């Protein structure tokens, strides 16, 4: 039996206690059992089955030599960072669901873990309960990952699925999502792509073996998408998804988040509602995909508990987590080549030649709205070049990148 502490008794933290309780038998069989000795929270939880474990002072936990593993489910990069660091420096392993902290200080905390023969694991920080981190670090250990293309945010995928299915406006669906608890009161981090951006920064760090910063990830949200965009997508048999992309072109590495059109032939286009899905292209295996609930109390907590079980089975050792302090860099997306879909004013029969003269051949030209038409480029073009060419065209209503 390994004694553990949970830091933060909110949604995920209380889920961790529940998963350990519900699956106690198999946790014991597979990892010798986990005992929740302390729960750190500023609040009291009268009537909670774990109310007697609640403490308000982290030093109580740190001072107890029986504590071998800490589940950090507080969030944020303030106290969570301070507590994680202090624990690791005492040789206590830390498992976390905190993507902000992992993205900012994960590499440093991993070095500290190594120096003190313990582990810093973060399976729950990306893709909730889908075992993505372990898959990249261990399952695909023999693979050179060349591309990751994922739906990493359930809130926005719920909104986009609704917009596609019902022809509804963004604001209407967002309000509905907030009402049902699928979107937060301040939805900025989700709808502007910051949440997905932090996650792709973590995945890119694992894949490159270098520290990739969220600050270098280009992010664009879903707020400008309209029902007409979805009508065009439907007409060409494609889906619009908020895609977190890591890609190599030549010797350059790119990471970005933006809405993209995806063809029905990609399994990613099948990912609906709050589900997440990540397609990984690697040099030997080719494409593989991982799909599931990317968030939610029990799914996320399960990943934290899985990490805690791994730590409990490896006391005194460091489990490799794929992070490194060596700085990696991303190329500016200006040089990234991709296809675009455009909406243009006017009549397709009148303007086709002019548009193709600027952008090259377009595979499909069709119109849904009166006095406008859609144009799907046949060939990829670098982002900067595309932006420059846009200025030569009159009446550009909008564009969407194509996966």
What is the contact surface with a copy of itself in residues (CB under 8 A)?
19-20, 22-23, 26-27, 29-31, 123, 128-131, 134-135, 138-144, 209, 267, 270-271, 282-293, 296, 298-299, 301-303, 305-306, 308-310, 313, 320
SS3 label, residue 9: coil
| Least spacing, CB of residue 138 vs a copy of itself, in Å | 6
Identity of the residue, 26 or 60, whose beta carbon is nearer to a copy of itself in the bound complex? 26
Please provide residue 164's backbone torsions phi and psi, each rounded to the nearest 5 degrees. Answer: -65, -40
SS3 label, residue 62: helix
Which residue in this structure is represented by tokens 């030549």?
Answer: 250
Nearest in space to 155 (alpha carbons), one of 291, 275, 245, 256 = 275
| Least spacing, CB of residue 285 vs a copy of itself, in Å | 4
Q: Is 343:372 a contact under the CB 8 Å cutoff?
A: yes
| Least spacing, CB of residue 133 vs a copy of itself, in Å | 9
Give dist(CA 302, CA 307) in Å, integer.
Answer: 9
Tokens for 338?
């991709």
Give dist(CA 96, CA 122) in Å, integer.
Answer: 5
Identity of the residue, 295 or 342, whose beta carbon is nearer to a copy of itself in the bound complex? 295
Q: How far is CA 1 from the centre of its chain?
A: 33
Give dist(CA 145, CA 158) in Å, integer.
Answer: 28
Identity of the residue, 163 or 274, whose beta carbon is nearer to a copy of itself in the bound complex? 274
Identified catalytic residue from 68, 99, 199, 298: 199
- For the question of residue 37 being annotated catalytic, the response is no
Identity of the residue, 227 or 296, whose beta carbon is nearer to a copy of itself in the bound complex? 296
| Least spacing, CB of residue 57 vs a copy of itself, in Å | 28
DSSP string, 211-267: B--GGGSEE--STT--HHHHHHHHHTTEEEEEEEEEEEETTEEEEEEEEEEEETTSG
Q: Is 102:127 a contact under the CB 8 Å cutoff?
A: no
| Least spacing, CB of residue 265 vs a copy of itself, in Å | 9
Identity of the residue, 243 or 359, whose beta carbon is nearer to a copy of itself in the bound complex? 243
Tokens for 231?
């009508």
Identity of the residue, 4 or 342, whose beta carbon is nearer to a copy of itself in the bound complex? 4
| Least spacing, CB of residue 324 vs a copy of itself, in Å | 10
Tokens for 49?
């089955």
Catalytic machinery residues: 199
């Amino acid at each position: 039996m390994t004694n553990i502490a949970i830091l933060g008794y909110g949604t995920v933290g209380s889920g961790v206690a529940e998963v350990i309780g519900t699956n106690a038998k198999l946790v014991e069989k597979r990892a010798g059992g986990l005992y929740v000795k302390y729960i750190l929270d500023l609040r009291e939880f009268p009537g909670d089955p774990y109310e007697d474990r609640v403490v308000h002072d982290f030093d109580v936990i740190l001072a107890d030599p029986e504590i071998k593993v800490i589940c950090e489910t507080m969030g944020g990069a303030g106290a969570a960072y301070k507590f994680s660091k202090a624990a690791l420096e005492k040789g206590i392993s830390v498992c976390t669901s905190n993507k902000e902290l992992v993205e900012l200080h994960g590499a440093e905390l991993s070095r500290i873990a190594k120096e003190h023969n313990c582990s810093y694991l973060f399976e729950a920080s990306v893709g909730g309960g889908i075992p993505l981190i372990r898959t990249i670090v261990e399952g695909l250990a023999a693979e050179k990952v060349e591309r990751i293309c994922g739906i990493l945010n359930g809130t926005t995928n719920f909104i986009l699925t609704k917009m596609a299915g019902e022809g509804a406006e963004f604001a209407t669906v967002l309000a509905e999502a907030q009402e049902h608890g699928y979107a937060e009161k301040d939805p900025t981090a989700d709808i502007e792509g910051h949440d997905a951006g932090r996650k792709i920064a973590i995945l890119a760090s694992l894949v490159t073996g270098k520290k990739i910063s969220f600050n270098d990830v280009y992010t664009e949200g879903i707020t400008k998408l309209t029902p007409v965009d979805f009508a065009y997508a439907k007409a060409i048999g494609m889906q619009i998804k908020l895609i977190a992309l890591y890609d190599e072109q030549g010797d350059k590495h790119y990471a970005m988040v933006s809405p993209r059109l995806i063809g029905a032939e990609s399994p990613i286009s099948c990912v609906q509602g709050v589900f997440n899905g990540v397609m990984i292209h690697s040099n030997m295996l080719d494409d593989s995909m991982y799909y599931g609930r990317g968030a939610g109390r029990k799914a996320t907590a399960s990943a934290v508990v899985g990490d805690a079980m791994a730590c409990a089975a490896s006391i005194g050792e460091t489990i490799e987590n794929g992070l490194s302090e060596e700085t990696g860099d991303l190329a500016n997306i200006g040089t990234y080549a991709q296809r675009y879909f455009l909406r243009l004013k006017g009549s397709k029969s009148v303007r086709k030649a002019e548009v193709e003269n600027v952008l090259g051949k377009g595979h499909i030209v069709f119109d849904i709205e009166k006095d406008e038409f859609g144009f799907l480029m046949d060939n990829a073009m670098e982002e900067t070049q595309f932006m420059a060419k846009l200025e030569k065209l009159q009446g550009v209503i909008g564009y969407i990148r194509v996966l």
